[in-house]
Homo-oligomer: A and B are copies of this chain.
């Protein structure tokens, strides 16, 4: 129910960009969102984690999730805008097994398609003034803008870390928080805003959002090295290839063992990544990362319990938390 409704709202929001003379811009957006072009379909569309979370939280807090749909479409558009720009910045040519926008249309038009999607995210949110009221809309708009600013701060750190030496393990958390955690928490808060829930219950749900946001990023770092390439739609050990300072890498660099000696800023050559992934694992980076994701997921589930959600949507939220933080590696 949630996903088809979200897709319907997303499609309506994106249609705004389908102006005469600019159909190609519109098609870039619909391609990126998984609806059109080579490889389109459920796998390209993905799970729409952020909108699903937002709607489930709204329902679990006793609200009418259908009123939150403009916000759900908005967070997906914001997230996808950031993916389009991230792919240009990281020079990633594949996402979910499909060629990225910049790889197909060049960086200039891909920057622009991302900017268009950023605009659409804000435009979609204006629908909240109709489904709820103008004060809730204004609050939501402020949250969305603060969140997108934090996303750019996270992306700044991610890019800056690439060339930095002697990073400490602790420096991982502000980056993960700004890049992923904040938006996931905002999804929670937008769901609560529409449901009209405040006080202790809202606080518990928000903690749930905070914890699963971090668990999601940590688990993603695990998958970026040890995930199944076919399932990820990327190369094996892709984060090692690209030289990403993810949690397992920062863990091992701080240890200054054999992995740290072999590490070079800027990425590991393809013929060495399998060996370096093994080194990382032998030094305990894989276990450490999995344990962190585990810990954060358990914290999230505790917070969820104390939020006393509606039973059915509460179960769906618990399942979502398990999936984000403990997907099989």
Contacts of A119 in B (CB 8 A): 145-146, 148-149, 151-152
Contacts of A107 in B (CB 8 A): 88-89, 107
Minimum CB–CB distance from A24 to chain B (whole Å) comes to 7
Tell me which residues from 274 to 317 in chain A have a Cβ below 8 Å from any Cβ of chain B: none
Complex Cα spacing A107 to B111, Å: 10
Complex Cα spacing A115 to B123, Å: 16
Identify the interface centre among A82, A115, A146: most chain B CB within 10 Å of its CB.
A115
Contacts of A24 in B (CB 8 A): 156, 160
Tell me which residues from 1 to 28 in chain A have a Cβ below 8 Å from any Cβ of chain B: 16-17, 19, 21-22, 24-25
Q: Does A174 lie at the interface of the complex (its beta carbon under 8 Å from any beta carbon of B)?
A: yes
Q: Does A66 lie at the interface of the complex (its beta carbon under 8 Å from any beta carbon of B)?
A: no
Complex Cα spacing A90 to B120, Å: 24
CB distance A153 to B115 under 8 Å? no
- Binding-face segment, A35-43, A129-137, A203-211, A236-244: A129-137
Contacts of A160 in B (CB 8 A): 24, 109
Q: Which of B89, B109, B157 contacts A111 (CB 8 A)?
A: B89
Please give the count of copies of this chain that the complex contains: 2
CB distance A153 to B111 under 8 Å? no
CB distance B146 to A116 under 8 Å? no
CB distance A159 to B118 under 8 Å? no
Q: How many residues of A contact B (CB 8 A)?
A: 47
Complex Cα spacing A120 to B142, Å: 10
Q: Does A112 lie at the interface of the complex (its beta carbon under 8 Å from any beta carbon of B)?
A: yes
Tell me which residues from 143 to 165 in chain A have a Cβ below 8 Å from any Cβ of chain B: 144-146, 148-149, 151-153, 155-157, 159-160
Contacts of A22 in B (CB 8 A): 153, 156-157
7 other A-B residue contacts (CB within 8 Å) besides A17-B149, A134-B138:
A89-B107, A115-B155, A118-B148, A122-B141, A122-B145, A123-B145, A138-B138
- Could you list some 14 contacts between A and B, CB below 8 A? A21-B157, A88-B107, A109-B156, A112-B152, A115-B148, A115-B155, A116-B149, A118-B118, A119-B145, A119-B146, A119-B148, A119-B152, A123-B142, A137-B138
